[in-house]
Amino acid sequence: MSFGTNDFDPTAPETFTSAHEEYKRLRAECPVAHSNAFNGFWALFKYEDVVRVVKDYHTFTTTVQNVVPKVAFTGRRPPLHLDPPEHTPYRQALNPFFTKEKMDRLAPDVRNIVVELLQPLIDAGFGDISEDYAQKLPGYVFARFFNLPTDLSMEIKRVTRLYNRALQDFDDERVKETSLQLYDIARKIIEMRKAEPMDPAEDVTSALLAATHEGRPLPEDMVLGTVRQLIVVGMIAPSVFIGNMVVHLSEHPDLQEQLRRDPALVPAAVEEYLRLFTPYRGFARTAKHDVVIRGRLIRKDEPIAVVFASANRDEDVFPEGDKFILNRPNIKQHVAFGLGPHQCPGAPLARMMLADTLRELLARTKHFEVAGEIRMTRWPEWGTISVPTRFVPA
């Protein structure tokens, strides 16, 4: 436990804007900050520091704690919980499933799922874009991506929701319990693939089972951990992100109209939203030895949150960082999907889901607006968990 100065409180209740207002203050006044919450941790708020730490895995390891608050109580989950070179065979097995060719083949299915889930809300004229759409979408897409029967995918969705709620309530016992249920589901997926093998070039679980490292198959417990990791990371980020776009477009009807008139701008808009509303704020590293960052001593074994959500609004890198600017010249520098060896392999699939959602929402409505109280998630994510929305169908 590392208790010291308490520079900020990550457990304070938040509005849609309050966290980013606090991060702006910390970037200016205390860019390397300490909090006594979650058993004590450091947090880096400047882009330069975040990038330095995530690239330098020799000094800052992901093997001890990969997120703030610490939620991994139930086993190691590659590739996120391992540093290179140990993590590399898992990335090599996963990366081929996110190529442009693979995404192009998946695209029609993803679009159909988006339309199927979105249209009933638009027809009804009202719904919660977070609860009724964003929290359902990843389950259906993952069913297709993992080649799963829908009932198993819906079970993943149900347990992931309970797991995320336990995280939001800081209920460690419930986190452990639901995490173990997710392991049971991952076990089921692996058993199903062993009983009904698929081409490793077409199925990610089969690819992990077929992969070798130095002539040996990957350890079974690590394959299990990888499948378990994929389930959760892919489910949570889109579910807290989509409502953010709706809130912003509700507040900026002129931008809503511009994108509706010119759908070719949608991918650029999604990219700027990823920078502005980064869904994961607190991935973590641990110092392997004492280090000094901006004059502050971080001791060996103390956890450090690399706050992507703050780094992506750092005015030294992104001028007018709190403002939505379409086609920012340096937009590719954002770190919404991380950087270095742990950059998210699933980014192409996430971008597809988000762009399809925004494109179809705009095409199928004349207008939409927030029509109720917005509720926010807590660490380690940033985003909406409830956005009641009124839709005017096209």
Q: What is the pLDDT of residue 142?
A: 83
Instruction: Find the mean pLDDT for residues 36-41.
Output: 94
pLDDT tens per residue across span 289-321: 999 999 999 999 999 999 999 999 999 999 999
d(CA 65, CA 67): 6
Q: What is the pLDDT of residue 235?
A: 78
pLDDT tens per residue across span 258-270: 999 999 999 999 9
Alpha helices in the chain (DSSP H): 18-29, 47-55, 88-94, 100-124, 137-145, 150-168, 172-195, 204-210, 220-251, 253-261, 266-276, 308-311, 347-363
Instruction: Find the mean pLDDT for residues 127-146.
Output: 90
d(CA 353, CA 347): 10
Which of 132-141, 283-292, 326-335 comes out lowest in average pLDDT?
Answer: 132-141
For residue 233, pLDDT over 80 is answered with no
Instruction: Find the mean pLDDT for residues 355-363.
Output: 98
42, β-bridge pairs: 34, 304
What is the biggest distance separating any 2 CA atoms in the chain, rounded to whole angstroms?
A: 59
CATH 1.10.630.10 is right for the domain spanning 18-393: yes
Instruction: Find the mean pLDDT for residues 104-114.
Output: 96
Residue 87 pLDDT class (50, 70, 90 cuts): confident
Q: What is the pLDDT of residue 23?
A: 98
Q: What is the pLDDT of residue 197?
A: 92
Residues 6+ apart with CB under 8 A from 219: none
